[in-house]
Structure 1
């Protein structure tokens, strides 16, 4: 595929209704089941403005917008209580508490929240919105919850509408970190320590375990024929037959390096696998954890290598972000050197610190190999969203890296970059770090073009 935007292929067709996923483009953390981190809606773009903001008291890792237009987020509350209904005298203070938080679509103010039991990834940041506008999320008690919202005579309320117990499939000390629906109406889940399972519509739970020592810190990607699961050692293509028990179709080990890199959460690849290419899901891409990280593209059916090449040229050498995809093109942001909170990472990094240089690159893929189209110096600090409607990449970030300066302090900008050329088309200051540190959190773009994006301290409503 060439560099022109118009040559990009269409995204995969919308998910079948049997998946139970909510509105297209606003119901999944990585944009869709294929984890393309793309959207069919135009974003704020060249005429962006900060329309509203609020202080929710926590960092919201993923935001969804349902049929009713209400934004709802998976958040990590800085301070909660020992119960699910915080009130004076309800219990001792509790820190780093996962919550589901509902926001006012006009003012961005928090309307209601529900506290969950702690689990993996600071409470389980992976989840999705179902076709009844319920957040499907795992909590630390060994349950998958469907969390709904409603307006009562006393105001808005967030509540558990359904609960699926999967605790007997999860070893002590383990927790669900990945959660996604499939095309047969099942829910797939994966735990930090390598348990992969499914839940069918009758709530029957089936599971298997990947080799011991392999852990998961990323999400699951789903296509009609199976699921892509990435551990700290290998990429797996998996399926679940009539029994519902997941089984391995193929496994490909990758170079996981000698240690966790600065700017990544675990020792291993930081990418959620991305399906893209022929038929929308014929290829699957990851970036490994080699000293000079490699983009590797596999055939989804066979596991054969389509192409591989250095993921970055002059950018920081590593990423924790899933590649964005459009047609046969991938866009990969670098997070090398990004400083996460100590509680979020696993084990020491080598080196202990590195400059957050940033940079993003577009690589086009064909059956003949990979080809770099452009590379820029965008220091993106959120999980970006690629709009197939306006051809722009939308994110929050910092200005260019200046040697000797303190990293991740100063202006925080809304950034819009042209997918075709890699050139910046809009820079709008929307905050100041450390209060508005973007923390690599995930936003969403609503059908009206509004971008809902959290920082460590605020929820931002950015509109055209």
Structure 2
């Protein structure tokens, strides 16, 4: 069942003129999944074969997503271990681009874990993020007489759509200048900007369908994945999101070890001709999860095949995409902090075996190209410039060895063959436990990547 809701809210200054990018910052460095299609790819070369750890800092928390604006300044969405108001405080953190040291921080009102993770950077280098008060914020930075400062430049209140225990889990701009938002318990809405007003429209997905992943946007609509089904949606003329099609998937009997919620752990990925011909997810089937590829326009099936052959049988990460190809990394068995997961796991735990696989797609189906044993422990980035997959990870899997102890490496893998081309030790767990955090590759080839204890600056 869906219902339409509407509100006109007062806010700060209107956003800048929007082109095809619709208020989002530089390509590759402004969204958690790289771009609005959620390809987890970047136009920039990464550190690659000449990688070195150039600098690091201890920000006092785990930074789940890092962005770099047109001004070249890295800014992250972090959870500070201790801050104003207690522990696990969501914080926007600004870093020095040379030393990686913290130059400013702004604590936010506590709320849902994912509100901060799925923020983005707009075309004025402002972080767009939801806080625990039920507001969408635009956090800007400026230099003052005593140094850098972060401040809230704009606030749009959406708490009218947040029932107790509900929180904004996804935020993304679209090609028409709106901002889409989604909540834990299945509300999907848009914010339309008209001068000083914000026109908010929303609808409710069926009861019991929750969201734990981000929003994927294309020119004609959005792909949204719940704990039960994949939706293709578009905003009507009045801004209310409407369902174009829905496809239920095998959600399995429970959450798997290495995933955060019960159901698919993937954010949908648009790819193929025009950038959005197809949309892909991985389901949560009990024995072997399946890659599911649909035609974006009508939801008809392109292919269904086992996501992994030899890797761990589950993933929390969105498929990477380049052209007609997907790369899927396994997170099965990965140990997240207890506060990050929801519900019991079946089995209760498993070893983090890892593994990644490339699958190529045509209108006639899908085929596996390669599969390797990479134990990737961050959200990886696929460079369209150098053809490498960049990430942090561990060495080979040893049964019984604790995940949180031992060397942590920067690794680069050849997209064409799946072969490792670079392995550089950059730290040691537990201080540098990667915790599946998201980094970004800046235009000069620098990988900004957080671990549980540090912010790393890895350069060519």
Matched, 1:59 2:62: yes
**What is the CA-CA distance between 1:122 and the residue it aligns to?**
5.5
SS of 1:279 mapped into structure 2: helix
Residue 345 of structure 2, aligned match among 339, 346, 349: 349
Asked whether the equivalents of residues 54 and 458 of structure 2 are also in contact (C-alpha less than 8 Å), the reply is yes
CA displacement at 1:123 relative to structure 2? 5.0
Gaps of 5+ in 2: 1-17
TM-score where L is the length of structure 2: 0.94
User: What residue number does 1:9 align with?
Assistant: none
Query: After the TM superposition, which residues 39-438 of structure 1 pair with which residues of structure 2 at under 5 Å, given as runs?
Result: 39-82=42-85, 94-121=86-113, 123-202=115-194, 203-291=198-286, 292-438=288-434
Instruction: Determine helix, strand or coil for the equivalent of 1:31.
Output: coil
Q: Distance in 2 between matches of 1:278 and 1:234?
A: 24
**Counterpart-to-counterpart distance in 2, 1:392 and 1:300:** 27
In 2, Cα distance between the equivalents of 1:283 and 1:421? Answer: 23
Deviations 1:89-118, CA, capped at 9 Å, x for gaps? xxxxx1101010000000000000000111
| Partner secondary structure for residue 193 of structure 2 | coil
The CA distance in 2 between the partners of 1:280 and 1:16, in whole Å, is 17
Tell whether the 8 Å contact from 1:76 to 1:122 is kept in structure 2 after alignment: no
Using a 3 Å threshold, how does the CA distance of structure 1 residues 206 and 412 change in structure 2: closer, same or farther? same
Return the alpha-carbon distance in structure 2 between the equivalents of residues 81 and 249 of structure 1.
Answer: 44
Q: Deviations over 1:404-446 (max 9, x none)?
A: 3222310000000000000000000001001100000000000
* Cα-to-partner distance string for 1:59-101 (whole Å, 9 max, x where unaligned): 000000011100000000101113xxxxxxxxxxx11010100
How far is 1:340 from its partner? 0.2
Which residue of the partner structure matches residue 91 of structure 1? Answer: none
Give the secondary-structure state (helix, strand or coil) at the position aligned to 1:168. Answer: helix
Tell me the C-alpha RMSD between the 2 structures. 0.9
Aligned length: 439
Q: Which residue of 1 aligns with 2:15?
A: none
Q: Distance in 1 between matches of 2:401 and 2:111?
A: 36
Kindly indicate whether the alpha-carbon contact (under 8 Å) linking 1:18 and 1:184 is maintained by their aligned counterparts in 2: no
* Distance (Å, rounded) in 2 between the aligned partners of 1:124 and 1:194: 18
